[in-house]
Structure 1
Amino acid sequence: MLPSIIFLIAVLLPALSALPTQDAGDVADNPMYSEPPSCPGTLPSMPDFEFPHLIIPISSSNPDTAYSNTLTPFVTAGDISEIFNFDIPESRNGQRCLIQFFFPHLDQLSTSFFQLRGFGTYSFSESPLGDGAIEGNTTFNARPLAAYVHGFPKAVSMQPGNAYTIGTTLCVPGRISLTMSSSDSNLAWFQDFNPCPIGLFITYSP
């Protein structure tokens, strides 16, 4: 596990320095900047949302390497993608599942962080129901297939200070797996449900 972590850090650091950066310091120096308001999006109380039960990186430059579960996902331009597994319980059968990405400003985060370089275009794909990442087995060359359902795959432009509904689907008990990648951006963050939440979640509506 340690060599994998060292490799990921070695890949991430030069990649993060290769693209334009956006962080709290950039906007704070802008005379048009004003202190951001309350969280761009909030999660309902538990158990009315799903935190990813598994987050697995895959790398096209190391296509046969299987990485461990992480709470610090990062996506790099044209290389590292993240696979998010969610498990939908029987009690949610027939409700609507909303796939949401929460992306606050840095100074709105109390227990998390992010680092962003690039232009903010991300691609999301959904795997067939029940498919998904398997820790220790999933690699770029052995990754879940993409299903052409519910408007996926899709590209979404995302910037700090916003919350995005990536897609909606009828909740069916079982595993929902989504893959996030980018062609022009490097984004690292700590997946966190504390205010303000940041990252990919599934919420429910009646």
Structure 2
Amino acid sequence: MKYAFSPLVFTLGASAAALKRSDCCFQLTASGGQSGSVGQLNDGQNRVGGGYSPATYCLSNGAITDKNGRGCILTPPTTQFQCDEGASPTPGFAVGEGGQVTYNGSTKFYACPAADGEYNIYTKEVDGQDKCVEITLSTEGAKCAAASTPVPSAPPTPTTPPAVASTPEGVTSTLTSYTTECPTPQSSAPPVASSPPPAQGPTPSNTQPAPESPPPTTLTSTTSQTQTATSVQSVTSPGTPSTPTPSSSGPSSPGGCPADLAGDYQYPHLIVPVNASTPSQSFGTQYFGEVSSSPRVCSLFNFDIPSSYAGSACSAVFLLPHKAELETSNYTLSTPGSGSGQVTFAALEEPADEKTAWESVPEKERDLGVFDVEAGARFVVATGECRAGSTVAYEMCAAEGSAGLSFEWFQDWNPSPIGLFVRKC
């Protein structure tokens, strides 16, 4: 389902913590301003009313999936509760002793009209929706308390191998690998990446580098490691911007890295959408990146470069695989007419933060060029000396004259990686 603007994103971070999987499955019932069982549309939207058969959900480590294995997320910026194929579920959910469902400790949910007698579910009131009513959700007594301790929502602290997940309120996430052991998990970020749920959280730290982490690993590594998201100095590559090419090796700019993640790379520590239609509204860090021409929406990305990158060259690269290559992500791309659409990138003078809105986007340091986006695209956005120990920010927008462009993706490091990354050459 499409939304005016989405949250990152973000994406997924990794941690060395391992958790034992514990699932609890149930059906949901709404009470309050609207009541009834919670069912689903075929696309995974959760609805109260409408005569749908009760849907079955499972809770594991604070994140919910439906019986079809779809990750249940809160779509930005409205926080609609729905379950999407290939999505990493939003963490922060729990079920109490009496079966009452909470999100980040709150029992408040909202039902807003979607069709005659049908209501979508949200975790906060929706602007412009005057007929929303407060509801609570329960599992009708299903005992999940012991297995449903909510994973703290927090955005990503990206690492080389894992993807980080962020939420409208957090900026640190963690990758959790399930094993037979149960070391005490680090609470600095929630789970995400190749396992189940991504994390999101209310304690943003996107503008400060995360603690020094182990040396970055590559995609071939099977060990969960925590690594600080890194950034690179934005320097325009000589010549015209690379045109996307689906080759596996990927093009590179003179003196830059190939447009792939074969070496050490960093995931965005923060992804913030800004919307010209609501210039003063901030959406917080998100799971998704989005650009569109109408409404005019841009996405801002922060990368925190580790000190270990000092003296090396770094490139910002953008990857858009064919959908058949994706395992845990997805995207929607609508372009003017047929063929590719065009986007622009710019390096910003200062990092964004979770409160950044359209009217408060940092000044541009430099424009980096216009690039074609289409399935299979991969290109180098900028190359330069790694700005070790600092945070670098980029802005991505629909290019002027690219009317009708609408592009949204779930930022992910899992095969095949999708979105904006920074890698060391």
**Shorter-chain TM-score tier:** 0.7 to 0.9
Query: Counterparts of 1:39 and 1:72 in 2: how far apart (Å)?
Result: 25
The structural deviation recorded for 1:44 is 2.9
Contact 1:120 1:158 in 2 (8 A): yes
Query: Counterparts of 2:365 and 2:358 in 1: how far apart (Å)?
Result: 17
The equivalent of 2:285 in structure 1 is 69
The structural deviation recorded for 1:96 is 0.8
Alignment of 1:29-178 (within 5 A): 42-44=260-262, 48-78=264-294, 79-118=296-335, 119-128=340-349, 131-135=350-354, 137-148=355-366, 152-173=367-388, 174-178=390-394
Q: Which structure has the higher relative contact order (CA within 8 Å, separation 6+)?
A: 1
What number of residue pairs does the alignment pair up? 172
Query: Counterparts of 2:249 and 2:77 in 1: how far apart (Å)?
Result: 32
Query: Counterparts of 2:410 and 2:249 in 1: how far apart (Å)?
Result: 16
Partner amino acid for 2:372? S
In the alignment, which of 152, 165, 188 is matched to residue 408 of structure 2? 188
Kindly indicate which of the two structures has a greater share of residues assigned to helix: 1
In the alignment, which of 59, 62, 78 is matched to residue 6 of structure 1? 78
Once superposed, what is the RMSD of the aligned Cα atoms? 2.6
Query: Counterparts of 1:120 and 1:4 in 2: how far apart (Å)?
Result: 23
Q: Relative to structure 1, is the Cα distance of residues 103 and 197 closer, same or farther in structure 2, using a 3 angstrom cutoff?
A: same
Q: TM-score, normalised by structure 2?
A: 0.38
Find the residue that maps to 2:77 and give its secondary structure.
helix
Q: Relative to structure 1, is the Cα distance of residues 3 and 163 closer, same or farther in structure 2, using a 3 angstrom cutoff?
A: closer
Query: Counterparts of 2:310 and 2:395 in 1: how far apart (Å)?
Result: 23
Find the residue that maps to 1:80 and give its secondary structure.
strand
Find the residue that maps to 2:268 and give its secondary structure.
coil
Partner amino acid for 2:383? T
Find the residue that maps to 2:273 and give its secondary structure.
strand
Query: Counterparts of 2:310 and 2:291 in 1: how far apart (Å)?
Result: 31
Query: Counterparts of 2:379 and 2:248 in 1: how far apart (Å)?
Result: 16
The structural deviation recorded for 1:43 is 1.6
The structural deviation recorded for 1:153 is 3.3
The structural deviation recorded for 1:4 is 6.1
- Per-residue CA distance 1:29-85 (angstroms, 9 max, x = gap): xxxxxxx9869664236xx11100000000111000011111111111151100000
The structural deviation recorded for 1:98 is 0.7
Q: Relative to structure 1, is the Cα distance of residues 50 and 37 closer, same or farther in structure 2, using a 3 angstrom cutoff?
A: closer
Runs of at least 5 residues in structure 2 that lack an aligned partner in the other structure: 1-6, 8-73, 81-125, 127-245, 251-258
Query: Counterparts of 1:196 and 1:54 in 2: how far apart (Å)?
Result: 20
Q: TM-score, normalised by structure 1?
A: 0.76
Contact 2:284 2:356 in 1 (8 A): no
Contact 2:368 2:381 in 1 (8 A): no
Query: Counterparts of 1:63 and 1:180 in 2: how far apart (Å)?
Result: 16
